[in-house]
Amino acid sequence: MANVIIVGAQWGDEGKGKIIDLLTPFADVVIRFQGGNNAGHTLVIKGEKFIFHLIPSGILHPDKSCVIGNGVVIDPHVLWEEILNLKSHGYFENDNQLLISEEAHLILPHHRIIDGARERMLKDSKIGTTGRGIGPAYEDKAARIGVRIGGILDEDELLLKLKRFFDIKNKFLTAVLGEEAVSLPKYFESHREIFFNLRKYITNTSLFLYQQIKAGKNLLFEGAQGSLLDLDHGTYPYVTSSHTVAGNACCGAGIGPTYIDHVMGVSKAYTTRVGSGPFPTELKDEVGDLIREKGAEFGSTTGRPRRCGWFDSVILRHAIRINGLTSLAITKMDVLNDIDPIKICTGYRLEDKIITEVPADIGILSKCEPIYEDLPGWKGPISDIRSFSDLPENAKRFIERVEELCGIEVFIISVGSEREESIIKANPFIM
């Protein structure tokens, strides 16, 4: 039995969805524990592409349970669309496959309006959010004026809960932001059926997971976003509004830390970032453009072009520390085929000092110049390779150098977007 957490080790979009899907056959339950539909997790199965925003990436495996934990914020309309889309493609036939925590908070229309209005107010210093209302939803949860999804189980009570929320937030929208108030009757009427349809999934997921653990089942926790987007440990304020680190898997799912056996970080063989904020190894030249083009680096949620740069061992070591990572999965190795040399950042230069840790202050991080080491490239294609020993020598050397610089073992190497295009050196469920 093993319970495994998977988190992004960079700024999101590391290929977590693919790695989760790859490991799902070894798990019994897959659990999302934070974030919302700011996430976009892509799976490619026999040429067909699926992008998950809220439902755990394990849902395509019909014998696995999928949990949306208490730490997730849920836009009910987006969730319902995702459910319908899966069903229309012949997946998720058994409704018992999905369990949603009664404690998860709803994203309501005010959240999206405030997200957009605040970004406009911030002008040049905007965060570059996904515009999905994520930050404002978590703010209202902490302010204790949010509405939990469990509220939809009783329609009369739900109306009272929504009224309490709408009264406060409509005042804010009109008096502070100069926006129009959102009509509660209109909102309620347009969502009534969705709320009714979602009722069957709502339950006490903390209790369910506890029972699964006691029955010796394997849990797989699916992190969203990435370590450098963590509210405390990321590049604040250019972060998301939840804790993306492994420690939050327990809080966001309602289980204790003593049940966790392994934490795997997912990193690309290079680095990308969407939205604003410092990115020391960013390439604003033709090599960056080449990586973007070869790696199809456009956001799964918003379609925005991703900023691209070299692999940064400083941020990886930071991710290893703040998550307690016990292994890595390196994705998109194939994207570096035929690029020579390949650079790896080993540290930063700040004036006359060498820095080996990520500074908390983004003003300082922005001034850091990456120190690179050149590694020789390799010739592709490599997507048909299934064993580490069959990789080109220089590709093996790249992985070994990542392991040396970060002080961690690479368990999985992804060499293409398809489920099968993977090299599994070690499996956290079989140890």
Q: Does the footprint of ligand GDP cover residue 14 (CB under 6 A)?
A: yes
Count of residues of this chain found to bind ligand IMO when the rule CB under 6 A is applied? 23
Collapse the DSSP code of 426 into the 3-class scheme (helix H, G, I; strand E, B; otherwise coil) and give the result.
coil
CB atoms within 10 A of CB 105: 24
Q: Which range touches ligand GDP (CB under 6 A), out of 35-43, 134-142, 180-188, 251-259? A: 35-43
Q: Does 227 bind ligand GDP (CB under 6 A)?
A: no
Phi, psi dihedrals of residue 231, rounded to the nearest 5°: -55, -40
Least separation in angstroms between residue 35's CB and Mg ion is 10
Residue 225: contacted member of ligand IMO, ligand GDP, Mg ion, none (CB under 5 to 8 Å, by partner type): ligand IMO
Let me know: does 67 contact 101? Beta carbons within 8 Å.
Answer: yes
266 binds ligand IMO (CB under 6 A): no
Please give the residues from 133 up to 192 whose contact with ligand IMO meets the rule CB under 6 A: 134-135
Quote the CA–CA distance of 240 and 136 in Å, as a whole number: 11
Contact status, residue 137 vs residue 111, Cβ threshold 8 Å:
yes
Say which DSSP state 72 is in: B
Amino acid found at 202: I
Three-class DSSP category at 181: coil
Catalytic residues: 13, 41
Count the Cβ atoms, other than its own, within 10 Å of residue 3: 23
Task: Find all residues with CB under 8 Å of 404, minimum gap 6, and list them.
Answer: none
Residue 114 touching ligand IMO (CB under 6 A): no
Instruction: Say whether 34 sits in a helix, a strand or coil.
Output: coil
- State the binding string over 292-311 for ligand GDP (x if CB under 6 A, else -): --------x-----------
| HSE-CB of 235 using CA atoms within 13 angstroms | 24
Q: How is residue 308 written in tokens?
A: 């691209």
Do the Cβ atoms of 247 and 31 come closer than 8 Å? Answer: no
Which listed residue (12, 146, 247, 265) binds ligand IMO by CB under 6 A?
A: 12
- Using rule CB under 6 A, residue 18 touches ligand GDP: yes
Choose between 40 and 151: whose C-beta lies nearer to ligand GDP.
40
Site string for ligand GDP, 37-76 (x = CB under 6 A): ---xxx-x--------------------------------
Binding site for Mg ion (CB under 5 A): 13, 40, 300
Binding site for ligand IMO (CB under 6 A): 8, 12-13, 38-41, 127-130, 132, 134-135, 224-226, 229, 240-241, 274-275, 300
Binding site for ligand GDP (CB under 6 A): 8, 12-18, 40-42, 44, 300, 331-332, 334-335, 414-417
